[in-house]
Amino acid sequence: MIMNISLSFLFFYFVFFLSLHYKESDATTAPPQNGNVYIVYMGANKNSHDMLLSSLLRRNKKALVHSYKNGFSGFAARLSDSEASQLSKQPGVVSMFPDPMLQLHTTRSWDFLQYETSVLIDSQPRFNAVPVSASKGSDTIIGILDTGIWPESESFSDEGMDPIPSRWKGKCMVGQNFTTSDCNKKLIGARYYKDEDSKSRMQSPRDELGHGTHVASTAAGVSVANASYYGLANGAAKGGSPTSHIAMYRVCFSDGCPGSAILAAFDDAIADGVDMLSLSLGASSSFAPEFSTDPIAIGAFHAVQKGITVLCSAGNDGPSAQSVVNVAPWILTVAATTIDRDLESDIVLGNNKVIKGESINFSELEESPKYPLISGSAAKTKSATEVDARNCYPNSIDAEMIKGKVVLCQHADNSIYSPRMKLTGVMKSGGVGIIIVNDKTRLVASNSGSFPMTVITSKDGAEILAYINSSENSVATILATKTIPTYKPAPTVAYFSARGPAAGLKNLLKPDIAAPGVNILAAWIANDKSKETTPEGREPPRFNLLSGTSMACPHVAGIAANIKSQNPSWSPAAIRSAIITSAIQINNLKEPITTQTGENATPYDYGAGEVSPTGGIQPGLVYDIDPADYLQFLCYYGYDISAIKLIAAELPSGFACPKNSSKDMISNMNYPSIAISMNATTEPVTVKRTVTNVDTDEATTYTVTIDKPAGLEVNVSPNELKFTANAKKLNYEVTFSPSSSAKGDLFGAITWTNKKYKVRSPFVVNRSGV
């Protein structure tokens, strides 16, 4: 699902944004950079920042690109390699690195989420049953870092919206085709970040690409009745927190998202007064940077220190293990799942057999199977290999042999050619339709416009091939897409969704949570004339269907906004805890959620599970984390005290890194999930947690239940927590004791229950060294 522009763009380039472009291989070269721009990160050291920047500007007034001075200190500047080397050695500099070019992780979804919550509540009606009417975020401000926004969309109407919060300090920047009147009580802020060297980038908050508009409306768009993509997925399009305000920070362009602009947006958003920030973008999993050189991790750290919740997409490099990105513990990391809506494009064979496929196409072929059917291998040119022809690679199939026919093409997961290339080749050669065979992408609709295309499983592909081989006059037709509601099973973890464990960080479970990210209907730009989005002869759509973890992240942002509105004093960690501990693990068959291959999903696939739209508003207990605890995490991770002093505005009294700091200590962070790396040892490992009672009932007792795998003993002490008016915070310990035969990753959960709430924490014990 990723546009195959170049190897260095393979991870994020508008994933599913042009939904026929699939991920073909992993990046093998360094990530792209923004010219000779360098980022100088100086933590909270404002004095050194001013001195260093003044010295630079005396030498070259035009060197400065961005200056960061609100939430943290630093700047981005155009420098020679020698200048960069000299600056990196100056006092007060935490890190210095070339400006990376990050990429975007490119609705019945809300109705489906509410249905999923009802399934959970119906089975155990006492627990976390919060009325839908509680989902309000009228005074909450969601900041979004993306490609900009199309303000005229109905999704951003401010009719009936509450006034702009008085604490808002942001602004609506004037730019090309954008004025202050484009903002309103819904879209209260819009910024963009100038690049004086780029003449191709529109200097405006206006969205030229559609991704930011889609994301913003998913998070907080107002309800728009009878929305659809040319009649597909018809229904009310709405955001998760339709009464929340939106602040858009345009940091992404057609060639990517400069890290320097991302940091500038974080810096502005902290001063503007947003409550949360949603980022559907990140670095490639092949080149995930250290926290000190990752613009998102840096900006998010300082935002969270100021009480702002930061949510990021997990990336689209799945289903490979260790592909998850945006894994800092101060970030809420979101994976993607399917919903119960299938976009089905059927194949009718000459033997009257109907094969169900998946795509978005507006086929004008006749419904009766009258078109000759041929496989790519049967149309092989003399010079092509059997494999190339079977996969319909360019120049491998004979144009005369496929003219007027429907062509069956395999699509290997490691193919260097995208389905779009194959479609184009078949179409230019006179073929009337194409059938793509690929198991992974069967549940993710690809958009082929008016050209008939559909994607089927390998099992169905074998059946079609058997039909072709059994008949001298095999025929077929491809039908236009139709919307299939209440599809089962759903949700499943999307094949593309990035998986844990986090590389080099096995003592922290990532991703945190999953949310709908497949075939999501949301607002779109009104001037899109691209063939991938607007079929020939039609007006651009008001709404579009996209897939990716990009689409999952704003679902959780909307839910987080509702939680914040109902619990304004809660910290970002408390909000994250509420979302994680109230997650759903069953599908609409009332069975465990699976991956798209049918295997039961694990915490590495979806974190705690599918997000509940309302369960987190009243979670019962929360696992809170003091922002200073993240400084302790940096100790455990390997940063020395001198670097931490520069990063932090000030250290807590008596703060020091443990003498024997190690990543194993990360397991003791008061995170709502537990991850332990035990390697070959069978010695018991004990971790501690603290829970805070946030219910109005101050006197309540929780008891523990443990879901544990074979080969692992899990003991919780105490097994009962008695809260009172004077004891709102209580501690417990969990001891894990694996048997010598236990291997690999061991998954389970610890759940605290009273008469009203279930507070569930997933755990994983890694035994890969056995």
Phi, psi at residue 51, to the nearest 5°?
-65, -45
d(CA 212, CA 252): 9
Torsion of CA 502, 632, 330, 642, to 10 degrees: -100
Task: Name every residue whose Cβ is closer than 8 Å to that of residue 292 and which is 6 or more positions away in sequence.
Answer: 41, 94, 95, 298, 639, 643, 647
Q: Would you give the DSSP letter of residue 30?
A: P
d(CA 608, CA 285): 21
Question: Can you list the positions of beta strands (E) in 347-452?
Answer: 347-349, 354-355, 360-361, 371-375, 406-410, 433-437, 447-449
CB 747 within 8 A of CB 602: yes
Task: Name every residue whose Cβ is closer than 8 Å to that of residue 130 and which is 6 or more positions away in sequence.
Answer: 614, 615, 617, 618
**Structure tokens belonging to residue 650:** 């000030």
Which of 139, 146, 272, 605 is flagged as catalytic? 146
For residue 111, indicate whether it is catalytic: no
**CA of residue 223 relative to chain centroid, distance:** 23
Count CB atoms within 10 A of the CB of residue 416. 12
Q: Residue 558, by phi and psi: left (phi above 0), alpha (psi -120 to 50) or beta?
A: alpha
**Structure tokens belonging to residue 409:** 């093409």
Which of 73, 286, 429, 550 is flagged as catalytic? 550
113: closest CA among 615, 527, 575, 715?
A: 615
Question: What is the DSSP annotation of 282-328?
Answer: E--GGGPPPGGG-HHHHHHHHHHHTT-EEEEE--S-TTSTT------
CB 221 within 8 A of CB 243: no
CB 702 within 8 A of CB 685: no
For residue 49, indicate whether it is catalytic: no
d(CA 573, CA 329): 9
Give the dihedral sign, CA 9/11/17/19. Answer: positive
For residue 146, indicate whether it is catalytic: yes
End-to-end CA distance of the chain: 36
Which of 21, 49, 211, 214 is flagged as catalytic? 211
Catalytic site positions: 146, 211, 550
